Structure 1
């Protein structure tokens, strides 16, 4: 099952650099706004050492890992909800994604311009959140009146209208809906029917330099800023260099840097988990496929929940 995670952020925060490294693609990564206009799509296999273990046991000819599709979306700027910059294209791409990976700049480099003229991760996150919130409020301006008519005509349950009105209250308070869904204040299944962008699962990637990766206090501060969403800290330039190496040299480079798991591997893993999927492994002589299934649905026939270690 290929799932789509949109990589979003302000211009020049390292989205395309991270996308290139993540997908081993060769997308333009330029030091000016809107280097990415049409979204670039790449399919990323999920690292899973269990597949090799099964392959060795069953002498399989082929290993088929699970995949996640990442989309490199054009940079957003203030006013995007009103069509500023490439706002309309950005919002359309966001709507098509299953989850949002927001890349935020947390490194200092005088040679790379910042669209706001300063390095302020909290402000950057607020800028994007505000544009998505405003766009969602525009959607609800049409949705709520329609639901009221349907409720009065007994075509729609009152609970659906109540949930839409709760969404509007949270959005007017400046809260992204994914946070309220995560803590149980909103019904995920009902809210999903409204097709609101801030209701999608969010992952926050902070693009840092070596000094930032060593600053655990700063990382804790940024993680608290986006909680309960997952925060990932990586150095996009380091990751881009890492993927150019063979597996042995890459592991040595990670070890020298004191890093156990590459930021990109963690991003692929967290991105997959954020979508709420379960994993099922099957084995045979022909191939070892990793089957992935939504945790909110029935498991495939003949499969049980994968909870053991090989």
Structure 2
């Protein structure tokens, strides 16, 4: 599962991507610096993993990860192929959630494709282009089944009702995600098959600097919360990129000195939640490792996350939770108290489970 970083050109997408992944995606002062998407992996900061390290004292701690995709900048008219519109939309199709970077900082040395600083307009432009793209896909899907529906095919008739609801909603210039009832009627497979971009969750990332006033920030946060029904996060992309180039000791010293939280860590954690991921842990040899899986994953499928042979040869899972270990600080005590339990292939893994898999 992956998150796509989207936005207009020159809003700071690649800068944020580089800060997230410590990559070197091209960052320049002109539109369409990014053409093909950059793909990177970033680790998830995990306090529980650090605590497990204190208990087990392994040689290696391995964090869970999240995949980010830096997608080419969109311009007005992208749904009709303007700029890199078709490429942009095809790359959005592949990701599971969206992070829209919105420029809130003023810097005359960085070209604005709007010709002015207007964060709300940025948000509305991208929403409109995605709405128009979705509407085009829905009308095509409708054409494919309308004759079967008219001939009495019940499955086609049921699909047509949903398609018409989606069409009518989009015609009001409203993203699908704003209508929870409508969204509940659309399956994950339909979202993929119909390529419905506005059904995906969006996190608005306001790219700020020290000169941005609290009034401006409050207005934007309120706008996306009330009008767009979405969460937002503040981040100084330029500062985060500079910090990402320091070693951990220098970074912590700088943050403490200026009382700075890690916006990057907050972003990663928020995206992790949006992707509906949970974490389980394994302790094998000299390594304690965190693994990410979707909520609702069975023990057998979770074993396959580690290795396909473990899923194929699954016998059972020995399970206890992080909270129990923190309480008693010893696997031996957990065993003596009967807290370590044996679970079968259909057990639904819980966040924070520590699992030892048995397999052929």
The answer to whether TM tops 0.5 is yes
Match of 2:21 in 1: 23
How well do the aligned residues superpose, as a CA RMSD in angstroms? 2.3
1:93 pairs, out of 91, 96, 116, with 91
Match of 1:116 in 2: 114
Larger Rg: 2
Give the CA deviation at 1:288. 2.2
Match of 1:186 in 2: 183
Gaps in structure 1 of 5+ consecutive residues: none
Higher mean C-alpha deviation, range 78-87 or range 249-258: 249-258
CA distance in 2, matches of 1:179, 1:283: 42
Give the CA deviation at 1:157. 6.4
SS in 1 for 2:18: helix
2:250 paired with 1:253: no
SS in 2 for 1:186: helix
CA distance in 2, matches of 1:303, 1:185: 28
Match of 2:165 in 1: 166
2:270 paired with 1:270: yes
User: Alignment length, in residue pairs?
Assistant: 302
Alpha-carbon spacing, 1:156–1:26, altered in 2? closer, same or farther (3 Å): same
CA distance in 1, matches of 2:113, 2:91: 21
2:306 paired with 1:305: no
CA distance in 2, matches of 1:296, 1:202: 22
Give the CA deviation at 1:178. 1.9
Give the CA deviation at 1:144. 1.8
Deviations 1:224-270 (A, max 9, x none): 2222222011111110111111222212322333323x111111111
Higher mean C-alpha deviation, range 71-80 or range 296-305: 296-305
Higher mean C-alpha deviation, range 55-64 or range 92-101: 55-64
Alpha-carbon spacing, 1:189–1:257, altered in 2? closer, same or farther (3 Å): farther
Give the CA deviation at 1:153. 4.7
CA distance in 1, matches of 2:32, 2:42: 24
Report the TM-score, using the length of structure 2 for normalisation: 0.77
1:54 pairs, out of 18, 27, 52, with 52
Correspondence list, 1:1-310, <5 A: 3-151=1-149, 152-154=151-153, 156=155, 158-180=157-179, 183-187=180-184, 188-189=186-187, 191-192=190-191, 193-212=193-212, 215-227=213-225, 228-260=229-261, 262-295=262-295, 298=298, 300=302, 301=345, 304-306=349-351
Higher mean C-alpha deviation, range 66-75 or range 190-199: 190-199
Give the CA deviation at 1:277. 1.8
Give the CA deviation at 1:55. 2.7
Give the CA deviation at 1:172. 0.9
SS in 2 for 1:245: coil
CA contact (8 A) 1:36 1:73 kept: yes
CA contact (8 A) 2:146 2:156 kept: no
Give the CA deviation at 1:90. 0.7
Deviations 1:128-177 (A, max 9, x none): 11111111111011112334445455362654332222221221111111
Give the CA deviation at 1:297. 5.0
